[in-house]
Amino acid sequence: MLEFTARRILYSIPALLLVLVIIFSLVRITPGDPAVALLGEGATEAQVKALREQLNLDLPMHEQFTRYVTGLLHGDLGTSMRTNRPILQELIQRLPATLELALFATLLALVVGIPLGILSAVYRNSWFDQAARLFSLVGVSVPAFWFAIILQIIFALLLGWLPVSGRLDPLVRPETVTGFLILDGLLTGDYDAAKDALRHILLPAAVLAAFYGATVARYLRANMLEVLSSDYIRTARGKGLAEVKVLLKHALQNAMLPVVTIIGLKFAELLGGAILTETVFSWPGMGRYMFEAIKVRDYPVIQGATLVFATIYMLSSLLVDLFYGVLDPRIRLKG
Amino acid sequence: MELRQPVRILLMAVVALSLVLSACQPAAPAVNPPAAETEPAAPAGSDTEDPAPEGEPVDERLTTLVVAVDADPANLEPATNRAFPIGSEIIINVFDTLVAWKAPDFTTLEGRLAETWEVSEDGLTYTFHLRPDVKFHDGTEVNAEAVKFSFERTLELNSYMTAYFGPITDITVVDPLTLTITLEKPLSVFLSWLAQPQAAVVSPAAVEKYGDEFNVHPVGSGPFMFESYIPDTEVVLVANPDYWRGAPRLQKIIYRVIPDASTRRLELENGTVDIAQQNGQLYSVPVEDIKALKQNPEIEVIEVPSQIIRQIDFNNTNTDSPVADLRVRQAISYAIDYDGLVNDLLGGTASRVYGPLTENSWGFNPAVKENAFYYDPDKARELLAEAGYEEGELSFTLYSFQGTLWGNVAAFVQANLADVGINVSIQQMEFPPYSELHRAGEFEIALDGRQPWYNDPDAHITIGYHSELGPTAMTFRMPEDPELDQMILEAQAAPTQEERTELYYEIQDRLMEKVPGVYLFSPNIIIYKRANVKDLVVNSAPPLNEYWSVYKIAD
């Protein structure tokens, strides 16, 4: 397993390099000059030229690439054209927000999705199953931004239970340890801050979890149905095993295999693809950072963030593969 | 029977969820009337007065102003500021400039760090006498050295400012409180530039201390001191109790980054945001929202005419283009139903623009209003016939920015032009490619906007019409006119505002004859604020708001 992991990480290096080459060329092919976009409406030709020089955009592309990769090898992701700040530092500031939201949404999705999936398979075609399937259908089809606004109106404006948006009340500022606010609050003993952070994360996490949980429930139901009709389950029941044990130990473990893949992919997707939710809830995460960067063609930021996304994608698919081995000992992990 | 288990689980889930939710509910806010009387005296000359009597509890929310902005300020440092509206506003609340436009009408300059100033006979040398005993937030002295340091730093770091600070040939510190600036040519507009955030005076000691980090640790001498910045989340400022004009009435300003317009509205209605600004951006003013918010007694909508202009640009440098014909440009100008556009489509959130300057600019020529184009489709058809175009013969692509409102304006123009027999197809695009297309001159007509970034007619005239600036996104495309170029330079340089006004009158008359574009409308600056926020002064040109005078009363 160790060998497998090492090999997979080694293989990911050329893949990352390829991603880098593609994104590096893509951003430069996309119409729109960062110097023009950054200077805005009022810029004169001379100002644009000066800024292009300052940003090294006047150099030939291969030279820009060499400089960029040299920087990368020295652990330097470059400087944001928009903010003049080191990109590594900006990423470190935003990644925890996104990870925290993604983890929380995953948790919520699994807590809702797995029981729903199991129960609607077990009580197939009952009213519960119908309701659960309706929920799943609505969950995957409702547009996230619409659902978000409805939740904001109900829980923030009408009921006043939860805040409209943000990660924390602006007057609450706990000490930062990890950047994960709930965890930070707990670690520093600032329970009010932890509670405040929890109140802020519920709505955006619920929006993300609706789609995510519905997907998990649908897949799990389908897999459970398949597994439950297989021979070994009949054998297990014939042996007189308790139904709970048959369901949770024998059936679920096998039915979960494809679902784990879904979870891994969805989790990685949440990291970069939650732009709408992050925007509606003023969540200072990676999706919005990327979006703002694309708007002004902030090349180094787009490149840096893409690299981070690609790395996380690879890590999460590696984790999924490793988890396969845990779930099903028959799967041997050899490179 | 078999349903019992799922039902039970479901019930438990519901109960658990409601427990979590109710645990998260905040305790009902204590209804503490603020200790301080809710009618503080004007800050001017109140430097000895305490904003709140000692020892009595003051509700923190009543001394904290929460301002919603739509994007990260990106840059808090004067020297590298590139006229980003949010960063600019924060800068003018943290820093002082030598001079500033005087509220409430913003047509004359007043001294800030400069107590007085003189301009030499030949218009080349400016002597500034600084206010004594002004300190930066770090305790160091504001003196002539610091001003010189700041200006030189801006020139060095900001390519954006070369065009404006470029004419400076010398900055001399005469004594700690006196400074002379020498220009290569007379340039009256120079004083307007000194009121800009890029000309704010920074603490040299703090620049040395923070180095590259100064853009997230700005230290100036303004009414508020920088406290903290969390990217994409907030910027927090706290009151400077030693501010030379008197301590501000607020204790704290929190700029919250809320990118989504509907979220900003909900936060405002919820009372968790005190002020939401639109920064005069067309796309962020949904007319329906304004109507709904105006009905809400807890919210006040401030509408101030801006100096922003939205227009159709003609590219008439290309002699093959139909718009190179003056009659076609006039016809298009007559074809637009200006009142319908402003009142119906934009619901009165904008005003008509008659020419190259808005009516609230001190350089606006009232005669322009009479010579302007008014809606007259018959005349438009006549002019097109005169120019030799039959109905349906002319076709254009109208380029525009993204966003619903730009799209609506484009569709409105399309319908108006269709009415006089001109076919228009609309193409909305992102700003960067739009800007490139504009620069390359690959268009005939395009919807566009001009947002002056300093409060002077020059901000529209030079950037819009001086041929030397060449094919920038801001320049109207028309054949070179050396005489006009000369007039523009003279208007920049003329020694008094009266003389400059005269020259701008002439320039406007000349431009009206050329029809470089169709001046459509000027969107209002719209600021939503909670009704308990008082004494906000809104500037018609960026930088927008100073919060020194603002205070909140209990609801």
Separation CA A208–CA A216 (nearest Å): 12
Give the pLDDT confidence score for residue B215 in this predicted structure.
85
Separation CA B363–CA B159 (nearest Å): 28
Give the dihedral of Cα atoms A130, A135, A139, A145; nearest 10 deg.
140
Say if B3 is an interface residue toward chain A (CB within 8 Å).
yes
Cis omega before residue B104 (within 30°)? yes
CB nearest A157 (choices: B20, B22, B270) = B270
CB nearest B24 (choices: A40, A94, A199) = A199
Separation CA B363–CA B500 (nearest Å): 8
With both helix axes pointing from N to C terminus, report the angle between A127-141 and B4-24 in degrees, rounded to the nearest 10. 40
* Short-list A208, A209, A181, A179, CA closest to A195: A181
Residue A208: both structure tokens together:
């993300």
Does residue B150 register a pLDDT over 70?
Answer: yes
Amino acid identity for residue B205 in this structure? A
Sort out which chain B residues have CB atoms less than 8 A from A182's CB and list them: none
Q: CB of A224 within 8 A of CB of A121?
A: yes
* pLDDT top residue among A40 and A165: A165
pLDDT winner (highest mean) among B8-12, B227-231, B523-527, B536-540? B227-231
Separation CA A28–CA A16 (nearest Å): 18
**Percent of chain B's residues with pLDDT above 70:** 86
Which of the four pLDDT bands, split at 50, 70 and 90, describes residue A333?
Answer: low
Query: pTM here?
Result: 0.82
Query: Residue B3 and residue A36: Cβ atoms within 8 Å?
Result: no
Separation CA A36–CA B430 (nearest Å): 12
B151-199 per-position pLDDT tens digit: 999 988 877 777 778 789 999 999 999 999 999 988 888 898 899 888 9
Query: Residue B162 and residue A85: Cβ atoms within 8 Å?
Result: no
Secondary structure of B290-343 in HEC code, one letter for each residue: HHHHHHCCCEEEEEECCCCEEEEEEECCCCCCHHHCHHHHHHHHHHCCHHHHHH
Distances (CA, A) of B520 to B283, B386, B405, B410, B525: 16, 24, 14, 11, 16
* Short-list B140, B177, B170, B173, CA closest to B155: B170
Does residue B117 register a pLDDT over 90?
Answer: yes
Sequence-separated (6 or more) residues with CB below 8 Å from residue A197? A167, A168, A181, A182, A184, A185
Query: Residue B3 and residue A123: Cβ atoms within 8 Å?
Result: yes
Give the pLDDT confidence score for residue A271 in this predicted structure.
80
The pLDDT of A117-133, averaged and rounded, is 89
Query: Residue A31 and residue B436: Cβ atoms within 8 Å?
Result: yes
Give the pLDDT confidence score for residue B47 in this predicted structure.
40
* Short-list B436, B516, B514, B441, CA closest to B476: B516
Amino acid identity for residue A64 in this structure? Q
* Short-list B68, B401, B520, CA closest to B253: B68
Query: Residue A93 and residue B439: Cβ atoms within 8 Å?
Result: no
CB nearest A284 (choices: B25, B231, B433) = B231
* pLDDT top residue among B453 and B460: B460
User: Residue B254: beta bridge partners?
Assistant: B66, B236
Sequence-separated (6 or more) residues with CB below 8 Å from residue B536? B275, B302, B527, B529, B545, B547, B549, B550
* pLDDT top residue among B280 and A302: A302
Handedness of CA B514, B517, B518, B524 (dihedral sign): negative
Interface of A with B in 13-72 (CB under 8 A): 31-34, 36-48, 50-51, 54
* pLDDT top residue among B165 and B131: B131
Residue B183: both structure tokens together:
């220009």
Distance (Å) from the C-alpha of residue A315 to the closest C-alpha of chain B? 26
Does residue A15 register a pLDDT over 80?
Answer: yes
User: Residue B352: beta bridge partners?
Assistant: B521
Sequence-separated (6 or more) residues with CB below 8 Å from residue A266? A106, A109, A212, A215, A216
Separation CA A265–CA B96 (nearest Å): 52
Residue B151: both structure tokens together:
């200006």
Q: Which range, of A87-96, A235-244, B255-264, B301-310, averages the lowest pLDDT?
A: A235-244
CB nearest A163 (choices: B3, B272, B435) = B272
CB nearest B432 (choices: A167, A198, A297) = A297
Does residue B346 register a pLDDT over 90?
Answer: no
Interface of A with B in 125-144 (CB under 8 A): 126-128
Chain A residue nearest residue B436, CA to CA: A32
Give the pLDDT confidence score for residue B33 in this predicted structure.
34
Element housing B24 (H / E): helix B4-24
Q: Of A118, A221, A282, which to mutate for an interface test with B (greatest number of B Cβ within 10 Å)?
A: A282
CB nearest B433 (choices: A32, A171, A289) = A32
B191-224 per-position pLDDT tens digit: 988 998 889 999 999 999 998 889 889 999 999 9
Query: Residue B159 and residue A50: Cβ atoms within 8 Å?
Result: yes
Interface of B with A in 469-528 (CB under 8 A): 469-474
By residue count, chain B amounts to 555
Say if B234 is an interface residue toward chain A (CB within 8 Å).
yes
Does residue B7 register a pLDDT over 70?
Answer: no
B405-447 per-position pLDDT tens digit: 889 999 999 999 999 999 999 999 888 888 888 888 889 999 9
Does residue B463 register a pLDDT over 90?
Answer: no
Does residue A180 register a pLDDT over 60?
Answer: yes
| Pairing status of strand B517-523 against strand B525-530 | unpaired
Q: CB of A120 within 8 A of CB of A221?
A: yes
CB nearest B258 (choices: A90, A93, A165) = A165
**Percent of chain B's residues with pLDDT above 90:** 52
B465-509 per-position pLDDT tens digit: 988 776 665 678 888 889 999 999 999 888 888 999 999 999 999
Query: Residue B263 and residue A280: Cβ atoms within 8 Å?
Result: yes
Sequence-ordered strand ranges (E) for B336-488: 350-352, 394-401, 422-429, 445-450
- DSSP annotation of B57 reads -
Sort out which chain A residues have CB atoms less than 8 A from B82's CB and list them: 38-40
Residue A67: both structure tokens together:
């400089």
Give the pLDDT confidence score for residue B332 in this predicted structure.
96
Q: CB of B125 within 8 A of CB of B167?
A: no
Taking CB atoms and an 8 Å cut-off, how many pairs form between chains A and B? 182
Chain B residue nearest residue A193, CA to CA: B24
Give the pLDDT confidence score for residue B471 in this predicted structure.
66
Q: CB of A243 within 8 A of CB of A172?
A: no
Say if A221 is an interface residue toward chain B (CB within 8 Å).
no
Give the pLDDT confidence score for residue A233 in this predicted structure.
82
Query: Residue A171 and residue B60: Cβ atoms within 8 Å?
Result: yes
For tokens 């030693």, what's the residue? B242
* Short-list B439, B404, B444, B442, CA closest to B425: B444
A148-176 per-position pLDDT tens digit: 999 999 999 999 999 999 998 888 877 88
Sort out which chain A residues have CB atoms less than 8 A from B430's CB and list them: 32, 295
Sort out which chain A residues have CB atoms less than 8 A from B263's CB and list them: 152, 164-165, 279-282
Give the pLDDT confidence score for residue B19 in this predicted structure.
41
B79-103 per-position pLDDT tens digit: 888 767 788 889 999 999 999 988 8
Say if B423 is an interface residue toward chain A (CB within 8 Å).
no
Handedness of CA B408, B414, B417, B421 (dihedral sign): negative
The pLDDT of A10-25, averaged and rounded, is 89
Sequence-separated (6 or more) residues with CB below 8 Å from residue B31? none
- DSSP annotation of A168 reads S
| Pairing status of strand B445-450 against strand B309-314 | antiparallel
CB nearest A164 (choices: B71, B231, B266) = B266
* pLDDT top residue among B368 and A327: B368
Separation CA B115–CA B73 (nearest Å): 30
Give the pLDDT confidence score for residue A43 in this predicted structure.
66
Please give the mean pLDDT across all residues of chain B: 84
Exposed/middle/buried for residue B385 (C-beta within 10 Å: 0-12, 13-18, 19+): middle
Give the pLDDT confidence score for residue A236 in this predicted structure.
82
Give the pLDDT confidence score for residue B542 in this predicted structure.
64
Query: Residue A44 and residue B463: Cβ atoms within 8 Å?
Result: yes
Chain B residue nearest residue A297, CA to CA: B432
Give pairs for B114-119: CB < 8 Å, separation 24+. Answer: B119/B495
Give the pLDDT confidence score for residue A245 in this predicted structure.
80
Residue B237: both structure tokens together:
């400022």
Query: Residue A296 and residue B432: Cβ atoms within 8 Å?
Result: yes
Q: Is B157 helix (H, G, I), strand (E, B) or coil?
A: helix
Exposed/middle/buried for residue B34 (C-beta within 10 Å: 0-12, 13-18, 19+): middle
Query: Residue A123 and residue B159: Cβ atoms within 8 Å?
Result: no
| Pairing status of strand B422-429 against strand B394-401 | parallel
Q: CB of B312 within 8 A of CB of B445?
A: yes
Q: Which range, of A283-297, B239-253, B307-321, B540-554, averages the lowest pLDDT?
A: B540-554
Interface of A with B in 267-306 (CB under 8 A): 279-282, 284-285, 288-289, 292, 295-297
Chain B residue nearest residue A285, CA to CA: B232
Query: Residue B450 and residue A41: Cβ atoms within 8 Å?
Result: yes
Q: Of A29, A36, A55, A195, which to mutate for an interface test with B (greatest number of B Cβ within 10 Å)?
A: A36
Chain A residue nearest residue B460, CA to CA: A42
Q: What is the ipTM of this complex?
A: 0.82
Say if B275 is an interface residue toward chain A (CB within 8 Å).
no
Does residue B325 register a pLDDT over 90?
Answer: yes
Torsion angles phi and psi, residue B534, rounded to 5: -120, 160
CB nearest B232 (choices: A94, A152, A198) = A94
* pLDDT top residue among A324 and B335: B335
B22-78 per-position pLDDT tens digit: 444 443 333 333 333 333 334 443 444 444 444 555 688 899 999 998 888 877 888
Say if B290 is an interface residue toward chain A (CB within 8 Å).
no
CB nearest A36 (choices: B23, B231, B473) = B473
Torsion angles phi and psi, residue A75, rounded to 5: 75, 20
Amino acid identity for residue B303 in this structure? E
Distance (Å) from the C-alpha of residue B160 to the closest C-alpha of chain A? 6
Separation CA B327–CA B385 (nearest Å): 9
Give the pLDDT confidence score for residue A35 in this predicted structure.
81
